[in-house]
Copies of this chain bind each other. A is one copy, B any other.
Amino acid sequence: MLPPWTRRYELSTQRPTLADVAAAAGVSVSTASLAFSGAGPIAAATRERVHEAAAQLGYAGPNPLGRQLRRGRSGIVGVVIGDALRRAFRDPVSTQVLDGLVGTLGPLDLGVLLIPSLSDPDSPGVDPLLESAAMDVAVVMWGGGDDDPLLETLRRRGIPTVLVEGQLLPGIGAVGIDDRSGIEQVTRHLVELGHTRIACVTLPLNRDRGEGFIGEPELAGRVWAITRRRLDGMADAGVTPVAVWQTPASLVEHGATAGRALLSGPDRPTAVVCQSDLLASGVVLAARELGLRVPQDVSVAGFDGIELPWLGTDVLTTVVQPLTEKGAAVGHLVRDLLAGAEPDHRELPVTLRVGTTTGPAPS
């Protein structure tokens, strides 16, 4: 009787497995495994023979699924996008962080699995992928607060998690920036230029994502951590905005809408602090549209430090955050978590960049 492994080998049709290759090379499965992984002593001639057999059979290397089960690791990092994908992807801030993350994870042989969170407030469930996809670590971008069902699901599944720009939570890694002091700096810059009537354009306050002026009651309510911190930064600089406009997302058009609303009234502010560059660039465009000169008639400041080629020669005054490094920092936390480290958190510095969109307050 033939040895058992010849069975599948002779049947053909099926994709070859390591056992088939081993049989063809006349070695044991364990030796064949060693020939591919290189983890253990193996004679050069044997390795060669195994590789030849593999080539002969059209064997393209060990099946990742078998390897993953055995190792107990999938090599996959789930990235939960806490916003509609189409929106998140239109924002260079998200994509640059993602780019930095992918760049760091790639060399570690870790893949990035996109997990769109159906952040639909009505829908009760959680994304099926979040619920059941294989991943060794999860990264939550733009993740909600401590009550977010996302985080609860991940905790239940026992998946180590890193939060980007969320709040600090026990047992969860976090990467953020010092946005509060960043906003404080840019606000002080405007105060020093003599501005007193300063308005503010905010990121969404919460998952309702309303658009329009907001007052005390809303500001006192539940507000996403990132938005809150950037609001607090203005207070730190001793400024109470003359108006606060909420946008439903960080996009140019929402900034433009905000700009039209804020700048067309009678008591228009002399400066606008925006919580993102995309929003700020929209405000600049709206100002130009209204025939206002920037910065002579109105100063505009942003946050992020991304490229805005459509502003032409103007350079936005903004708070620059290291986006790619942020992604890399997330990657490093992920690496450490996989190595068994305790969840850590890391805060990156920001710097004020004074451009051409802010100037002395008009007299």
The interface bits of chain A over 161-174 (1 if a CB of B lies within 8 angstroms of the residue's CB, else 0) are 00000000000000
What residues of B have a CB within 8 angstroms of the CB of A69 in the complex? 65-66, 68-69
Q: Is A98 an interface residue (CB 8 A)?
A: yes
Beta-carbon nearest neighbor of A68 in chain B: B65
> Are B102 and A114 in contact, with the CB atoms below 8 A?
yes
Q: Is A103 an interface residue (CB 8 A)?
A: yes
> Are A157 and B60 in contact, with the CB atoms below 8 A?
yes
Given known contacts A95-B86, A285-B312, A309-B253, A128 and B113 CB-to-CB distance under 8 angstroms: no
Q: Is A90 an interface residue (CB 8 A)?
A: yes
Beta-carbon nearest neighbor of A154 in chain B: B60
Distance (whole angstroms) from the CB of A288 to the closest CB of chain B = 8
CA distance A132 to B74 in the complex (A): 12
Given known contacts A96-B86, A309-B251, A64 and B285 CB-to-CB distance under 8 angstroms: no
Q: Is A249 an interface residue (CB 8 A)?
A: no
Beta-carbon nearest neighbor of A153 in chain B: B60
Q: Is A129 an interface residue (CB 8 A)?
A: yes
Q: Is A99 an interface residue (CB 8 A)?
A: yes
What residues of B have a CB within 8 angstroms of the CB of A276 in the complex? none
The interface bits of chain A over 301-333 (1 if a CB of B lies within 8 angstroms of the residue's CB, else 0) are 000000101111100000000001000000000
The interface bits of chain A over 269-295 (1 if a CB of B lies within 8 angstroms of the residue's CB, else 0) are 000000000000110010011000000
What residues of B have a CB within 8 angstroms of the CB of A191 in the complex? none
Out of B62, B111, B285, which one reaches A310, CB within 8 Å?
B285
* 9 A-B pairs whose Cβ atoms sit less than 8 Å apart in the complex: A74-B134, A90-B95, A102-B116, A103-B116, A109-B132, A111-B113, A111-B133, A282-B309, A310-B311
